[in-house]
């Protein structure tokens, strides 16, 4: 991994030298991208509000199902939640709340949605972050070698395995792992209640709980990096500059590492960033199988209710993450690839 990136960086250092006149262009480019992002975000806000109101169901009825409530209590609850107001007024309240940074209060938990999301954000970031990082490393490593030795047994085996794992339903793979490693790793959750409170014990316990869910998610994710890396490297492999490099007498290993891979990295970088936007989406299936207290689970739970404030907020946060990462990917693309800058 480190060599791969180093190669790319070095190339950049060499290329990045000219053009102060492009400053104005850069500002225009930045403003354009940011404006587009803000517009998308505004549309997400409106869409999120309308979309979840189409789910059938009365939150008040769901909340009080199966326990003693009087008609007066139901009316009070309806008023407190604000669901008795006309739709346009609810929308205005929602927008005004957003400007104040208030995402509303969850119907089910009766707590500020922002608190709920923050509480669930870290477990999800940890799980999906680690799994994505592992998947990228595995995917690139196998992808590069599979492409370099295209058609070999190694290529067939690694690509085949990756595709098989990728096609498996995540919850099923999770359950299989749970059964296979039952006893060796925890059956669920993020830590044991009786773990000593000091940082080291806590971290180790969380890491121990992380193994199975992370393994499941990595296995499911790495195939796409492998495939993208493999195909873009294959495209580069017929290029003439590689012949030149070989003609210079460079060993095969160096030809691959210093010349082919940096050029083949671009599509993968895009994928990495787009995927990172999805990180907040969590991994509903994996989180459910392993009782991982994350954000995906929160969204899923909120659907039955429906817990509108939670739904529209998670939708907003998720969309915002994707939009942000998209902008970032485009900026990075400009830095990574001189051809993009030139246009």
Partner 1 sequence: MRLGNPRVARSVRSLVTVSLVGGLVSVAAAPAALAQEQDEKVTLRVALTQEIDHLNPFMAILQSSTGIGRVAFDYLTRYSAKDQEPIEGLATDWKTSDDNLTWTFQIRDNAKWSDGEKLTAEDIAYTYNLIMEDETAATANGSFVSSFEEVTAPNDTTLVIKTRTPQATMLALDIPIVPEHVWSKLDKVDDPKMDQPPIVSSGPFTITEFRPKEFVRLEANKDYWDGAPEIDGLDFVFYDNADGAVSALQNGEVDLVNRLTPAQYETLEGEDNIAVNKAQGRRFNELLMNPGAATKDGEPIGDGHPALRDVRVRQAIAKAIDPQALAERVMSGYAEPGSSVIPPVFEDYYWEPTEDQRWKFDPAQANRELDAAGYERGPDGIRQMPNGTPLEFRLLGHKGRAFDEQSASFIVEWLKKIGIKVTQEIVQDDQVNEMSSAGEFDLMFSGWGVNPDPDYILGLHRCSARPNAAGHGGTTDSFFCDQEYDRLYARQLAEQDETKRQEIVKQMQERLYEQAPMVVLDYDNALEAYRSDKFADFNVQPQPTGVIMEQNGNWGYYQAKPGDGGAEGGMPTGAWIAIGAVAIVAVAGGGIALRKRGKSVDDRE
Q: Per CB under 8 A, does 176 bind partner 1?
A: no
Measured in degrees and rounded to the nearest 5, phi and psi for residue 185 equal -125, 160
Rounded Cα distance between 44 and 277, Å, is 15
CB of 155 to partner 1, least distance (A): 20
CB of 299 to partner 1, least distance (A): 13
The residue within the footprint of partner 1, chosen from 41, 175, 242, 269 (CB under 8 A), is: 175
- The token duo for 116 is 């709920």
The residue within the footprint of partner 1, chosen from 245, 306, 312, 323 (CB under 8 A), is: 306
Q: Per CB under 8 A, does 70 bind partner 1?
A: yes
Q: For tokens 């927008």, what's the residue?
A: 95
HSE on the CB side for 207, CA within 13 Å?
6
The residue within the footprint of partner 1, chosen from 29, 91, 122, 181 (CB under 8 A), is: 181
Q: Which of 172, 135, 142, 139 has its CA nearest to residue 157?
A: 142
The residue within the footprint of partner 1, chosen from 36, 82, 97, 188 (CB under 8 A), is: 188
Q: Per CB under 8 A, does 2 bind partner 1?
A: yes
Which is closer to partner 1, CB of 198 or CB of 240? 198
The total of other beta-carbon atoms located within 10 Å of residue 126's CB is: 18
* Cα-to-chain-centroid distance, residue 2: 23
Footprint (CB under 8 A) of partner 1, residues 195-234? 195-196, 201, 204-205, 207-208, 211
Largest CA distance in the chain: 87
HSE on the CB side for 257, CA within 13 Å?
12
Q: Per CB under 8 A, does 86 bind partner 1?
A: no
Number of residues that bind partner 1 (CB under 8 A): 69
- The token duo for 171 is 């919850």
Scanning 11-19, 87-95, 155-163, 192-200 for contacts with partner 1 by CB under 8 A, the matching segment is 192-200
Q: Per CB under 8 A, does 193 bind partner 1?
A: yes
Contacting residues for 45 by C-beta, under 8 A, at least 6 apart: 95, 98, 316
Q: Which of 308, 317, 300, 294 has its CA nearest to residue 125?
A: 294
Scanning 155-163, 186-194, 218-226, 319-327 for contacts with partner 1 by CB under 8 A, the matching segment is 186-194
Measured in degrees and rounded to the nearest 5, phi and psi for residue 182 equal -55, 125
The total of other beta-carbon atoms located within 10 Å of residue 203's CB is: 12
Q: Per CB under 8 A, does 290 bind partner 1?
A: yes
CB of 186 to partner 1, least distance (A): 6
Site map (CB under 8 A) of partner 1, residues 3-22, x = contact: ---x----------------
* Cα-to-chain-centroid distance, residue 177: 23
Rounded Cα distance between 173 and 139, Å, is 19
For residue 228, whether the previous peptide bond is cis, meaning omega lies within 30 degrees of 0, is: no
The residue within the footprint of partner 1, chosen from 37, 301, 324, 338 (CB under 8 A), is: 301
Q: Per CB under 8 A, does 249 bind partner 1?
A: no
CB of 160 to partner 1, least distance (A): 23
Q: Per CB under 8 A, does 293 bind partner 1?
A: yes
Q: Per CB under 8 A, does 296 bind partner 1?
A: no
Rounded Cα distance between 252 and 141, Å, is 16
Which is closer to partner 1, CB of 187 or CB of 231? 187
Footprint (CB under 8 A) of partner 1, residues 106-145? 108-111, 115, 119-120
Q: For tokens 């995917």, what's the residue?
A: 139
**Contact footprint for partner 1 (CB under 8 A):** 2, 6, 55-58, 61-78, 80, 108-111, 115, 119-120, 175, 178-179, 181-196, 201, 204-205, 207-208, 211, 287-293, 297, 301, 304-306
């Amino acid at each position: 991994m480190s060599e791969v990136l180093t190669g790319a960086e070095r190339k950049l250092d060499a290329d990045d030298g000219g053009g102060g006149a492009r400053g104005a262009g850069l500002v225009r480019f930045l403003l354009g991208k940011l404006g587009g992002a803000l517009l998308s975000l505004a549309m997400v806000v409106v869409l999120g509000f309308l979309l979840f109101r189409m789910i059938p169901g009365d939150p008040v009825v769901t909340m009080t199902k199966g326990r003693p409530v009087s008609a007066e209590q139901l009316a009070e609850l309806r008023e407190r939640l604000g669901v008795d107001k006309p739709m346009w007024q609810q929308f205005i309240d929602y927008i005004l709340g957003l400007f104040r940074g208030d995402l509303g209060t969850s119907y089910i938990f009766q707590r500020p949605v922002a608190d709920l999301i923050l509480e669930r954000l870290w477990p999800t970031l940890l799980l999906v972050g680690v799994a994505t990082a592992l998947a990228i490393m595995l995917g690139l490593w196998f992808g590069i070698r599979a492409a370099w030795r295209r058609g070999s047994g190694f290529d067939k085996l690694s690509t085949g395995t990756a595709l098989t794992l990728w096609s498996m339903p995540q919850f099923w793979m999770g359950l299989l792992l749970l059964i296979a490693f039952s006893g060796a790793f925890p059956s669920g959750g993020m830590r044991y209640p009786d773990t000593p409170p000091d940082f080291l014990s806590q971290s180790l316990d969380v890491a121990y709980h992380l193994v199975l869910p992370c393994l499941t998610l990595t296995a499911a994710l790495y195939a796409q990096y492998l495939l993208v890396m493999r195909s873009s490297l294959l495209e580069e492999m017929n290029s003439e500059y590689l012949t030149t490099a070989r003609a210079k007498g460079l060993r095969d290993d160096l030809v691959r590492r210093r010349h082919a891979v940096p050029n083949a990295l671009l599509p993968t970088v895009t994928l990495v960033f787009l995927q990172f936007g999805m990180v907040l989406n969590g991994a509903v299936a994996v989180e459910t199988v392993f009782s991982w207290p994350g954000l995906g689970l929160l969204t899923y739970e909120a659907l039955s209710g429906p817990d509108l404030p939670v739904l529209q907020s998670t939708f907003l946060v998720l969309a915002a993450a994707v939009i942000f990462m998209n902008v970032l990917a485009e900026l990075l693309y400009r830095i990574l690839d001189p051809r993009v800058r030139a246009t």
